[in-house]
Structure 1
Amino acid sequence: MIEKIPCGTGREIMNQEWTLHVERIGKITKADIRIAPLIFFIGDNNSGKSYMMTILWGVLFLGKNLFPDRPSDSRTYKRCEKWLHEHIDKDSVLDDAVVALYLDWFNELLSQRKKDFLRHLFNHTMESGRMEIREYRQRKPLKLHFRAGKRYAFHAGRDISFPQSEAYTREELLRMNTYICWNLLMGDIAAPLYTPVMRGRRNGEPVYLPASRTGFMLTYKQLLEQSIQANFGQTEEGNRGALTLPYVDFLQLIAHFEAHRANALADRIMPFLETYMTDGSFKIKNTILPDFQYMPKDVAAEIPLYITSSVITELAPLSLLLQSGINFKTIIIEEPEAHLHPALQKRMAQFIVRLVNNKKSVWVTTHSDTILQHVNNMLKLAKRPTAERKQLMAQFDYESVDLLQDQQVRMYQFSKNTQELRDPVERDGTVVQELKPQKYGFEVPSFNDALERILDEVYAFQGEDD
């Protein structure tokens, strides 16, 4: 059954929700990740958080490549073709039964091309078990229209439109079916299926900000040409380069940063970033490759990034991304707490929530209990009575754009499995557990256990004489 998402506070940004199910990939024994506007992966080091985030990004980034160039005779595709043929030139609702047809087709394509998909994504031949999208639900069913003289059009949460034609070939039906399938699954979180290239990057593509951003920002000119050329060379064992596709894409993103006209997202968020986090601004000088400079507040001189502090180089990609006006729908940030003092980690939590409340999906891997505590604070603050909430917001420097609702957030803990299991693969693998919000927010067992052990040491080492 494909459930309807209840309307809540109006802050939801996705018309669709689904769960990505994977088995036996890397260290992950099994995982079920349900997408949401804000996702946190937390847990042990070397437990597969980046693996899982890379796969999620890959589904959004490479998923369009799964669709065939020619009409298929597979049973799952023919069901989609039959339904569309029967509804040509009619206004139709893409209800539960219709969605199930397209979900089956996409999962068949993902299963058939999984090996190539993973090799392209990880730059290495990867073995895996099942991988599929499950438990699709939509808040408002999409509607299908045919209009004279109109182009293909998708309006998030509302409808899909096709131009009317005197005759529809199987090739045209395939093109329309691909468009329907992609927008049902990815319309709110990934790039449009057919869109012109703008500044070397398609409109709406997901952005991946990897860990070690400082290293990339300081060495991108040396890394860029060699890494991109190497990663374009496919071999039987994967690409010849030394980076996974999200890292290559991040280098390409840096290469295409350029100052852009003001945009609404930057206007709303850049002042917060520059005032509370970077204490200054970034400039982009366009040469063969862009050259980035930092200008501290109240200082006229521009400073090259390589002589700034690590907090500046870590935050530079966020500022430059906003300045570039790249219209991403989803951003993945690994370890946003890197190099940040706890006071700045509070601001980073606010910045992330502000992105979410500006209709961007933000998916995060983190080891920071400080960031998660501030996320809990913003969840709790939203539940306070209006008068009390306003007083607390003024006291602790929050605004309405910092408020967060439970239904906007999902949190997953990655834990190394130490149970005595018969299967050695499962015994040595990672267990992924969804954490549900409690009365006071999310409780993270792995963080709490570590903090309790530290406190035990503190009390033990103090001794009776202290």
Structure 2
Amino acid sequence: MNKRWTLHVENFAKIKSADVTIAPLMCFVGDNNSGKSYLMSILWGILTLGKDIFPKKPSEAKIYKQCERWLQAHINEEIELVASDMELYINWFNELLNTHKKSLVKQIFNYDVDIERVKIINYKRNKPIKITWEEAGSRYSVTSNYIKFPKVDLPNRDELLRMNAYICWNLLMEGIAAPLYTPVVKGRRNGEPIYLPASRTGFMLTYSQLIENSLQISFSPELHENKSTLTLPYIDFLQLITKFENNKKKNKYGKLIEYIEKNMTRGNLSVEKELLPIIKYQPEGSTKEIPLYIASSIVSEISPLLLILKSNINFKAIVIEEPEAHLHPELQQKVARLIINMMHCGIPVWITTHSDTILQHINNMLKLKKHVRSRELQEEYGYTKEDLLSDEEIQMYQFITESNKTRLIPLEITKYGFVVPTFNNALEKIVEEVYAFQED
């Protein structure tokens, strides 16, 4: 990730305040009903729907006109953006977020959830970025190093708005969300982040009955009324299932797929494309395929992630609620290893978790990375550099409940890794009971 920024919310649902700095790997821990899914959903929602809040016509708002004047002054001039330049665009996006926050939250949650404040703060870049101009160009383009436009003489205000929105969106979302102006092709995702809800196993087993209604709901600049009884992340997940297929093309996630099938599902998942996809499981060593609904819980639990990777679906980031669900501790460690490897494939992975096993594996990989005998220990325990974690690659947050409201606190990395009070307090209480209930 070439950028970092912090999502700041206040008085959102039961969350009094929260500051979440995005990172390649991000973990939310905390008690049940503390707001983890709410906060992850609004973060996902801004990445997914945020491009729809840009105005359709040039604005007379003071903040936008500052962006317009800045761009006019640099038309056809190659320029590296400095902090004050980028701040103009972050301020504009925050004004748009503030204007649309209630309708945005209503669309995400299918309910009028309270929210007092939402904005992006503390924007920083790891690498500089330039605005460049192409003599014979016809399209806008972006990389981590530049935003490129065709050269233009005396652009009108509509053209300036289009370019300004492109600059603003890519400063914030390049590499983690779908492009701003990619043509919409029915049935194809353009890089939108994926949200795997905690109840994904139930959805995988009942999707054929649920999809018909969700297919009628799609993302668009107009805020369509959601007539279902599901939140938008759930609807998006159901729509995602319809895109599962047996993709015969070379797959960039081949190693991840092999790891899952060898170490977790212990067998192959395939898809027959009819009106709706029919998913079948072939256990390792068997020639017979069986329906997903009679496979073990580990297969149905991990099937969405495996089929996303096998289908070559285009996505830039993934949210996974409770990746440990239905998994034995040994498999929880393997899913933690998988998550780190996904991150090293360039996929930001953001999770909510109650698993002490996942936390311990993360801590082990942080310690192994810095260990004086790291190479020797990697070889002894079967790890590679893709399994290791650096301090700067991860952010971990704990939700603290106080007087029926929660706030978010960032957890610091110690020499032992992350110390998570919500886990430690529960474990200490159990250990105390173990000693208390032992007979002399």
TMscore range, shorter length:
over 0.9
Compute the displacement of 1:152 (Å).
3.6
Q: Secondary structure at the match of 2:417?
A: coil
Q: What is aligned with 2:106?
A: 119
Name the CA distance, whole Å, in 2 between partners of 1:235 and 1:136. Answer: 29
Name the CA distance, whole Å, in 2 between partners of 1:408 and 1:389. Answer: 18
Alpha carbons 2:110, 2:230 under 8 Å: kept = yes
Residue number among 255, 261, 277 corresponding to 2:242 in the alignment: 255
Kindly provide the amino acid, as one letter, of the partner of residue 238 in structure 2. Answer: L
Name the CA distance, whole Å, in 1 between partners of 2:139 and 2:222. Answer: 36
Residue number among 389, 401, 418 corresponding to 2:386 in the alignment: 401
Alpha carbons 1:17, 1:136 under 8 Å: kept = yes
Q: Secondary structure at the match of 1:430?
A: strand
Residue number among 418, 434, 439 corresponding to 1:442 in the alignment: 418
Cα distance, 1:144–1:232 mapped onto 2, change above 3 Å:
closer
Cα distance, 1:96–1:152 mapped onto 2, change above 3 Å:
farther
Q: What is aligned with 1:421?
A: none
Consecutive unaligned residues of structure 2, counting only runs of 5 or more, are none
Cα distance, 1:381–1:416 mapped onto 2, change above 3 Å:
same
Name the CA distance, whole Å, in 2 between partners of 1:209 and 1:230. Answer: 18
Compute the displacement of 1:391 (Å).
2.4
Compute the displacement of 1:155 (Å).
3.7
Cα distance, 1:233–1:85 mapped onto 2, change above 3 Å:
closer
Q: What is aligned with 2:147?
A: 160
1:36 aligns with 2:23: yes
Q: What is aligned with 2:46?
A: 59
For residues 167-190 of structure 1, give each alpha carbon's deviation from its aligned partner in whole angstroms, at most 9, with x where no partner exists: 311101100000000000001211
Cα distance, 1:234–1:46 mapped onto 2, change above 3 Å:
farther
Q: What is aligned with 1:15?
A: 2
Q: What is aligned with 1:422?
A: none
Name the CA distance, whole Å, in 2 between partners of 1:176 and 1:224. Answer: 37
Residue number among 420, 432, 435 corresponding to 1:456 in the alignment: 432
Name the CA distance, whole Å, in 2 between partners of 1:396 and 1:296. Answer: 27
Name the CA distance, whole Å, in 2 between partners of 1:230 and 1:249. Answer: 9
Compute the displacement of 1:239 (Å).
2.6
Residue number among 166, 169, 192 corresponding to 1:179 in the alignment: 166
Compute the displacement of 1:398 (Å).
1.4
Cα distance, 1:348–1:136 mapped onto 2, change above 3 Å:
same
Q: Secondary structure at the match of 1:162?
A: strand
Kindly provide the amino acid, as one letter, of the partner of residue 202 in structure 1. Answer: R
- TM-score of the aligned structures, taking structure 2 as reference length: 0.97
Cα distance, 1:374–1:199 mapped onto 2, change above 3 Å:
farther
Q: Secondary structure at the match of 2:280?
A: strand
For residues 169-220 of structure 1, give each alpha carbon's deviation from its aligned partner in whole angstroms, at most 9, with x where no partner exists: 1101100000000000001211111113456133211000001111110111
Kindly provide the amino acid, as one letter, of the partner of residue 19 in structure 1. Answer: T
1:269 aligns with 2:269: no
Name the CA distance, whole Å, in 2 between partners of 1:331 and 1:54. Answer: 12
Question: Structure 2 matches for 1:143-292, cutoff 5 A?
Answer: 143-198=130-185, 200-229=187-216, 239-292=226-279
Kindly provide the amino acid, as one letter, of the partner of residue 7 in structure 2. Answer: L
Which range moves more in the overlay, 232-241 or 24-33?
A: 232-241
Q: What is aligned with 1:80?
A: 67
Compute the displacement of 1:238 (Å).
5.7
Q: Secondary structure at the match of 2:281?
A: strand
Alpha carbons 1:203, 1:328 under 8 Å: kept = yes
Cα distance, 1:237–1:185 mapped onto 2, change above 3 Å:
closer
1:358 aligns with 2:345: yes
Which range moves more in the overlay, 103-112 or 395-404?
A: 395-404
Compute the displacement of 1:234 (Å).
13
Cα distance, 1:49–1:256 mapped onto 2, change above 3 Å:
same
Cα distance, 1:115–1:159 mapped onto 2, change above 3 Å:
same
Sequence identity percentage: 51
Name the CA distance, whole Å, in 1 between partners of 2:378 and 2:232. Answer: 41
Name the CA distance, whole Å, in 1 between partners of 2:294 and 2:219. Answer: 33
Alpha carbons 1:231, 1:239 under 8 Å: kept = no
Residue number among 365, 379, 386 corresponding to 1:378 in the alignment: 365
Kindly provide the amino acid, as one letter, of the partner of residue 411 in structure 1. Answer: M
Name the CA distance, whole Å, in 1 between partners of 2:105 and 2:99. Answer: 12
How many residue pairs end up in the alignment? 440
Kindly provide the amino acid, as one letter, of the partner of residue 278 in structure 2. Answer: D
Compute the displacement of 1:158 (Å).
0.4
Name the CA distance, whole Å, in 1 between partners of 2:250 and 2:182. Answer: 20
